[in-house]
Amino acid sequence: MAVLPDLSVDIGGLRIKNPVIAASGTFGYGDELTPFYDPSLLGAIIVKGLSLRPMPGNPPPRTAETPCGLLNAIGLANIGIEAFIEEKLPSLAKIKTPLIANIYGHTIREYAQMAKRTATVDRIAAVEINISCPNVEAGGMAFGTDPDTAAMVTDQVVKNTTKPVIVKLTPNVTDITTIAGAVESAGAQAISVTNTFLGMAVDVATRRPKLANIIGGLSGPAIKPMALYLVHKVVEAVQIPVIGLGGIMDYQDALEFLLVGARAIQVGTANLINPKTPIEIINGLTDFCVREEIGNINQIIGDLRTKGEGHEKKGNRKDT
Ligand X SMILES: Cc1cc2nc3c(=O)[nH]c(=O)nc-3n(C[C@H](O)[C@H](O)[C@H](O)COP(=O)(O)O)c2cc1C
The residues carrying an active-site annotation are: 133
Sign of CA dihedral 86, 91, 93, 96: negative
User: Minimum distance from CB of 228 to ligand X (Å)?
Assistant: 11
CB atoms within 10 A of CB 77: 15
113: enclosing H helix or E strand: helix 108-119
Cβ-Cβ contacts under 8 Å for 183 (sequence gap 6 or more):
131, 150, 151, 154, 167, 169, 191
The smaller minimum CB distance to ligand X, of residues 5 and 117, is found at: 117
Is the peptide bond preceding residue 61 cis, with omega within 30 degrees of 0? yes
Beta bridge partners of 313: 307
Interface with ligand X, residue 72, by CB under 6 A: yes
Estimate the crossing angle of helix 277-291 against helix 251-259, to 10 degrees: 60
Q: Segment near ligand X (CB under 6 A), from 17-25, 148-156, 203-211, 251-259?
A: 17-25
Distance of CA 225 to the CA centre of its chain: 16
User: Minimum distance from CB of 207 to ligand X (Å)?
Assistant: 25
Interface with ligand X, residue 154, by CB under 6 A: no
CB 219 within 8 A of CB 246: yes
Per CB under 6 A, the list member of 19, 39, 49, 105 interacting with ligand X is 49
User: Minimum distance from CB of 130 to ligand X (Å)?
Assistant: 4
Beta bridge partners of 122: none
User: Minimum distance from CB of 248 to ligand X (Å)?
Assistant: 5
CB 16 within 8 A of CB 9: yes
Q: Segment near ligand X (CB under 6 A), from 37-45, 143-151, 153-161, 262-270?
A: 262-270
Interface with ligand X, residue 24, by CB under 6 A: yes
Interface with ligand X, residue 76, by CB under 6 A: yes
Interface with ligand X, residue 170, by CB under 6 A: no
Q: Binders of ligand X: how many residues, by CB under 6 A?
A: 26
User: Minimum distance from CB of 171 to ligand X (Å)?
Assistant: 9
Per CB under 6 A, the list member of 268, 278, 284, 302 interacting with ligand X is 268
Interface with ligand X, residue 282, by CB under 6 A: no
Which residues within the stretch 86-145 sit at the binding site for ligand X (CB under 6 A)? 102, 130
Q: Segment near ligand X (CB under 6 A), from 36-44, 69-77, 277-285, 303-311?
A: 69-77
The closest of 66, 78, 157, 54 to 111, measured between CA atoms, is 157
Q: Segment near ligand X (CB under 6 A), from 32-40, 71-79, 88-96, 230-238?
A: 71-79
Interface with ligand X, residue 264, by CB under 6 A: no
Which residues within the stretch 201-260 sit at the binding site for ligand X (CB under 6 A)? 219-220, 223, 245-248
With 0-12 CB in 10 A as exposed, 13-18 as middle and 19+ as buried, what is 306?
exposed
For residues 112 and 158, what is the distance between their CA atoms, to the nearest angstrom?
A: 9
User: Minimum distance from CB of 163 to ligand X (Å)?
Assistant: 16
CB 11 within 8 A of CB 190: yes
The smaller minimum CB distance to ligand X, of residues 97 and 102, is found at: 102
Interface with ligand X, residue 23, by CB under 6 A: yes
CB 166 within 8 A of CB 100: yes
| Site for ligand X, rule CB under 6 A | 23-26, 48-49, 70, 72, 74, 76, 102, 130, 168, 195-196, 219-220, 223, 245-248, 267-270
